[in-house]
Structure formats: structure tokens, C-alpha cells
Chain A
Amino acid sequence: MVEVRVENVRKTYGRVEVLRGVSLNFRSGALTAILGPSGCGKTTLLRSIAGFIAVDSGRILFDAEEVSGLPPQRRGTAMVFQNYALWPHMTVFENVAYGLRLQKVPADEIRRRVLKVLELVEIGSLADVESRKPSALSGGQQQRVALARALVVEPKVLLMDEPLSNLDAKVRQRLRVELRRLQKQVGITAIYVTHDQEEALALADTVVLMDQGMIVQAGTPQDIYLKPATAFAAEFLGVSNQLEGDVSDGKLVVAGQSIPYTGAARGRVTVIFRASDIQMEEPSAPPRGGTVVLTGVLEESLFLGAHYRHYVRLGDGMVMADSPDLRRPGPVRLVLPADKVQVYGEHKT
């Protein structure tokens, strides 16, 4: 098990700074998800660790060994690609055996290890892996083979670049669970790049949120989800309502309504809260303590299966609130626990 350390890594393409001084520790034996919107630098970071991209400055270390100068062949990482990158002219067996053949492992040992790892990733019937080409398999199975191909060489670090993005929703959900099980079973240090926040939260021990070539926040999935560090983090993680507000004299004014505020931010702020944290009441109900109360007009409700999503007009803005019951349009009171309302100062994103 190897700990991966990235120290102040920078990379520039032309005039675009893709990585702007990234420093990170990837805990050994843990699965770390790098999460962010497209173009945030997450794939560049992953490919720098694999050695496909030479960084401009900074260091990358596997335990104590600095690998920044090593070619990809000598880093001992194994990568799983978004498009599987299986070789269509080789059989499933040959695909998986490739790495071992490069290492000149004896044929009978190759056979044993390939079949073992194919069993591990649950490829199904092992009988015809020596005659079937990858194209005869479904997308989900192809990605299992790709995973087997990466694991069979017992790499120091497993790198995954949006491995589930090309699969349909159901297969994706199932493979997500299995990936996590496998990673724990093998106990390998894994780095997983994704733009899907749900996937990152579900899979990872640690989630690293990136934006514009920098790390916004790193922490456990729970930390990231419940205590987003910036307005960007809050917005990127889940359905949220975002309103412009103003803080002065210990009061926060949102959509013309004043609510108590004791935080540090002053002046223009961004107020963020989740649709699922809102409770709706009749405007005539008696007020409760420890809560933030806003009044608006319910305009529309959509049935989403698990719950209704209500659209409530609040001044110029629109707020989404989820609840299990259908409500009649009209004036409504939105009640939020005070600690679920996040207020961020001017420097948004």
C-alpha cells in the first residue's frame, strides 16, 4: 500500500493554468475521489500522477520515492479509462494477461493469476475468455475486464478516470457498489476522478473537490456534503437554493426579508440551503425558535417519485423545496433549521 503525495504541482497549457499549485495527500489503502466540473483540472492531475503529463513544477511522491521524473512505464500505476481502452484485436484473456507478459511472468502463473482476477471482478463465465473479444461483452463487463487488466499487475496505485461515465444508470449503480467492495478487498490505494457528486460521495473515503485548477475542499463525504467550504462547494454538491443577500447590523436581508445572522460575513453574501432541509407551513401557524423563516408564494409542484418538488417564489427569486406531500399553490412559510443555512462572503466560486 502506497501513499501518494502531490506537492505544489503546476501545469500550464499555453496560457491556461490547468493546475495552480495543487497539494494533496492520498491516504494509502483508501479510495480518494477527485470531484469537480469539467475543465477543473481533475483529469490533468490524474494523468500527471500516471506520468502521461509532465508537470511544470512541484513534486509527486509514492511513499518516499519521487516519481515526477519517471516515465509512465516505471511508475507502477494502473489506469482504468472512461472508454475502457480494451484492445479490440485481443481476446479478453490476452487483454488481461498483457501486463504480466510484459513482466515475463511464466505462462502457467499468468494463467492462474488472470483467471483469479477475472473471478474477482465477477466477469461471469470464465470458459470462453480465451476466445471472446471484448466487443462481445456488454459495457459493464468490458469495464470489469479493464479493471481486471489493471489489478492483475498488482499496481502501487489504481487510477480511474470516470470509469462509469459511459455506462447506463443501472449498471453504474451496481458497479459502484462492487468497485468499493473490490477496492477494500484488495486494499489498494485508489484515485477516482469523476464529475458526478453522488458517485464521489458514495464511493470514496475522501472526497477532493476541485475547481479551476485548485483544491476547494478535501474531506470525508459527510464533511463535504454537510459543511461545504465555499458557495461553489455547496452549489456543486446537491440540489441547493442560492440567493443573493446583504448583511448589516447583525441582520441578513434576503429577498426583502430580514433574518437573524451571527456569522462573520459582511456586505454582499450568497445564501445557500438545500431543498430537502426546508419545511413548509401555513403562514398562519405559530412561529418556532431556532429556525430561519421566509415567506413566499408556492407556484408549482412537480411529482418526482420519491417526493414532490415545490417551486416557491421569494421576491425576484425562485426557491425549490422538497416534501412528501402535495400542497395547494398560494402563500407559504418556509422553515429552515438555522444551522442548515450557509452564508458565504463575496468571493464566490
Chain B
Amino acid sequence: MSMNRRGLRMAGTVLAAVIIFGPLSSLVIWSFAEKWYWPHLFPQQVGLFYWSKVLQGDMLRALQSGFLIAVVVTVLTLVITVPLAYLLARTPIPFKPVILMIFLLPQAFPQLPVFVNSTTLLYRINQGGKFWGVVLIHMVGALVFAVWTMTAVFKSVPESLEEAAINLGASRLKSFFSVALPLATPGIIASTLLVFLYSLDEFTGTLLVGSPFILTLPVFMYRTSVGYELQVASISALLLMVPGIVLLILLERYMKSEYLSMFGRI
């Protein structure tokens, strides 16, 4: 029985590994292939040629500008969302469902028309193909994530905890900074990481608004693969995965250690 179960478990693990890593392995192989023609199963010639080519060229620029955009988007989103989410969670402001719905609206329609329209709009205000235009288009998506998750995070901090502070003489601001914010921090960090990753990986909007002047990694990858430079595309795909994996591991670590338990205890 237990042997059987263990066997089943192992088979499951192997299957999962194949499903997850199978497609990725072809990326790895492609990134080292210098010569690979049909009908050969494996490349005839492997080497670091494309890696070195990539690491000297445009890709680093794409990586750099993508990161910069992601950082700016994340910071701006935080600055806007934290106070807004707090207000949405705590005060009976009028039209609350409408406000929340407005943030959701861009996601309710197919992305492409939304982005195409935004692009024409951004060109009209002279932000097409510019850094801030891309930042703005990223924030359309980022704000949805952030407002909804952070509102939930602030809601999960019991109001009585803040009332206790106010009751002892704390101002609304003091109670926010000494009680609500510290308790919401893990949730804020989690949603910050998600926003950062979203911006780093965003493709459609970046391509439409940013091209040809603003280059991020996904757009770069798209261009190179369209140009049949599959090696370069594979390398950029692999590199693009790195921050995602690192941040998600961080996220899990961080959430696990202390805060997840606290979330449950409310």
C-alpha cells in the first residue's frame, strides 16, 4: 500500500517535472546551439557564441530599461495605492464599488483594443514611444492588482486595533503609521512584488506604446524570435525568468516566516 502510494507519488513528481522543465529544456538547448539543422535531434555544434553576443549587445540595454520602468511603476503604484486602499478599506467613502470597478474596467475588455486606443491617446499627448508613456500603460494593469489586493490587506487588519490606538490619543495618521501600516506590510510587500513582476513581463502595451524607442526584455525577445534568431530569443526568455523566480522565492520565504500566520489569526 505505502509502496504503491510512494511509487504513485514519484511518478507524479516526474510527470510534473517533465511538464514544467520539458519546454524550458528546449530553451536551454537552443541558447547553446550554434548549429542545429533538421533532422538532427540535438544541435550539431554547441557553444557560448550567442551568450557572449547577447551579453554585449542590445539585450543588456533592454534589461536595464525594463528594470528601470518596473521600478518606477512599482514606486508610483505604491505611492498612489497605499493611501487609496487604506481609505477604501476604512472609510465609508461614497461610490466605493464604482471606484473599485473603474480600476477593474480595463481588464474587463480585451487587452489589445484597450492598449491600441491608449496608444493613440498617448501619441496625442506626445508620450508615444517615450519612457513615461510605457510607465503609464503599465500602471493601468498594475493599479488593478495593487488597489484590489491592498484594500483586502488593509481590511484584514481589524479596525479595533486602530480604535485602540485612537482611543489612547493617537491621531488618525499616527494610528495608520504605528498600527495599520506595520500590520499591512507583508501584504503590501507581496503585492509590490507582483506589480514589479507584472511590469517586468508586460508585453502588449510596451510593444504598442514603446516601440521602437523603448525596449524591454519581452519586446526584445519578441523581436529576435520574429527575426529567427531563436538562440537570442531563448537566452532572453531564460534571463526574463530569473527575476520572477528569485522574487517568488523571496515572496514565499518572507510570507511564510512570520506574517502568513498573523493573517490567519484575524
Contact = CB atoms under 8 A, between A and B. Distances in A.
A87 B168 contact: no
Max chain B Cβ within 10 angstroms of own Cβ: one of A50, A85, A146, A153 = A85
A72 B165 contact: no
Interface stretch (B133-141, B155-163, B203-211): B155-163
A103 B169 CA distance: 8
A149 B168 contact: yes
A102 to B, nearest CB: 5
A52 B168 contact: no
B206 to A, nearest CB: 38
A88 B186 CA distance: 13
A102 B160 contact: no
Most chain A beta-carbon neighbours within 10 Å: one of B166, B262, B265: B166
A102 B170 contact: yes
Interface in B216-266: 262, 265
Given A89-B182, A135-B265, A81 B160 contact: yes
Interface residues of B, number: 19
A98 B166 CA distance: 11
Contact of A87 (B167, B169, B179): B179
Interface string A133-170: 00100000000001001100100000000000000000
A79 interface: yes
B168 A98 contact: yes
B18 to A, nearest CB: 43
B59 to A, nearest CB: 43
A177 B197 CA distance: 56
Contact of B167 (A72, A103, A135): A72
Contact of A73 (B160, B161, B170): B170
B166 A73 contact: yes
Bin chain A's interface residue count. Answer: 20 to 34
Contacts of B171: 73
A183 interface: no
B160 A85 contact: yes
B168 A85 contact: no
Q: Which residue, B158, B178, B182, B183, has most C-beta atoms of chain A within 10 A?
A: B178
Given A83-B158, A85-B160, A72 B166 contact: yes
Contact of B168 (A81, A135, A153): A153
B169 to A, nearest CB: 5
A102 B166 CA distance: 10
Contacts of A98: 165, 168, 170, 178
Interface in A186-222: none
Q: Name which of B164, B165, B174 has the most chain A CB atoms within 10 A of its CB.
A: B164
Given A77-B167, A99-B169, A88 B174 contact: no
Q: Which of B166, B167, B171 has the most CB of A within 10 A?
A: B167
B168 A78 contact: yes
A55 to B, nearest CB: 17
Contacts of A87: 161, 164-165, 179, 183
Contacts of B165: 87, 98
Interface in B108-156: none
A88 B168 contact: no
A161 to B, nearest CB: 9
A50 B183 CA distance: 24
Contacts of B164: 79, 81, 85-87, 146, 149
A160 B249 CA distance: 44
Contacts of B158: 83, 85
A254 B195 CA distance: 73
A150 B168 CA distance: 8
A50, A73, A83, A146: which has the most chain B beta carbons within 10 Å? A73
Contacts of A77: 167
Contact of B183 (A74, A83, A89, A153): A89
B261 to A, nearest CB: 9
A342 B262 CA distance: 52
B168 A99 contact: yes
Interface in A94-148: 98-99, 102-103, 135, 146
A153 B169 contact: yes
Q: Which 5 A-B pairs have the closest CB atoms?
A: A99-B168, A85-B160, A85-B164, A102-B169, A79-B167
Interface of B: 158, 160-161, 163-171, 174, 178-179, 182-183, 262, 265
18 contacts: A52-B163, A52-B167, A73-B167, A73-B171, A78-B167, A79-B164, A81-B160, A85-B160, A85-B161, A85-B163, A86-B164, A87-B183, A88-B265, A99-B169, A102-B174, A135-B265, A146-B164, A149-B164
Given A52-B166, A72-B166, A153-B169, 12 more contacts: A72-B163, A72-B167, A73-B167, A73-B171, A77-B167, A86-B161, A86-B164, A88-B262, A98-B170, A102-B168, A102-B174, A149-B164
